[in-house]
Amino acid sequence: MLKLWLIVRLILIRTLEISVMIVVATLVLDVVWQVVTRFVMKNPSRWTDELATMLLIWVSLLGASVGFIRKAHLGVDYFVGKLKGRLKISVEFVVYLLIIAFAGIILIYGGSVIVWQTLETGQPSPALQIQMGYVYLALPVSGFFVALFALEAAIQTLVAFGKSVRKQREGH
């Protein structure tokens, strides 16, 4: 079972990273085209600014998910770093539970409600006429990845806590 999870985990992470790379590359091309049409052709493109905004939303949220997975996200770990042993592990576990709750309630649930409502109303973007629900879909997608990998980290923290308890029992 663990081997299967490691394979699925690798596939999910690679898919997410490649998606971020594609979105960033598209964003760069879009902004370059915007500059060319504005300053070289003297006729600014009407849709490039809107597309850049949409791509920035996706790259920010998906990039935050990649950062969380790589443990490169911003965090206030100064105080947690001062803790030792099981207290440190316990605090880390609680933090992961809070992250799961945030990702589940705000990003997945709240994002899904926004996506659903926006798709129901058929709200298109002004220039590109893309359904805005597809833009907002970045919220639940990002929330899924954050919650999934926070759950993995919470389980790893529980395992570390169990090892700490066993080690202490064997020592006494």
pLDDT of residue 34: 96
Beta carbons of 51 and 131 less than 8 angstroms apart: no
Render pLDDT for 126-167 as a digit per residue (tens, 0 to 9).
Answer: 999 999 999 999 999 999 999 999 999 999 999 988 888 888
Q: When comparing pLDDT for 80 and 40, which is higher?
A: 40
Percent of the chain whose predicted confidence (pLDDT) is above 90: 82
Residue 22's pLDDT band, with cuts at 50, 70 and 90, is: very high
* pLDDT at residue 96 in the model: 94
- Give the integer Cα–Cα distance in Å for 66 and 14: 10
Per the prediction, the chain carries an average pLDDT of 94
User: What was the pLDDT predicted at 118?
Assistant: 97
Average pLDDT over residues 5-14: 96
3-state DSSP of the chain:
CHHHHHHHHHHHHHHHHHHHHHHHHHHHHHHHHHHHHHHHCCCCCCCHHHHHHHHHHHHHHHHHHHHHHCCCCCCCCHHHHHCCHHHHHHHHHHHHHHHHHHHHHHHHHHHHHHHHHHHHHCCECCCCCCEHHHHHCHHHHHHHHHHHHHHHHHHHHHHHHHHHHHHHHHHC
Q: What pLDDT is attached to residue 85?
A: 86
pLDDT value at 117 more than 80: yes
Does the pLDDT value for residue 7 go beyond 70? yes
Place of tokens 């006494």: 172
Between 71-75, 99-103, 111-115, 142-146, the lowest mean confidence (pLDDT) is in: 71-75
Range of 23's domain? Answer: 2-171
pLDDT digits (tens, 9 = 90+) for 68-91: 999 887 776 778 888 998 899 999
Domains contained in the chain, number: 1
What is the pLDDT at residue 2? 86
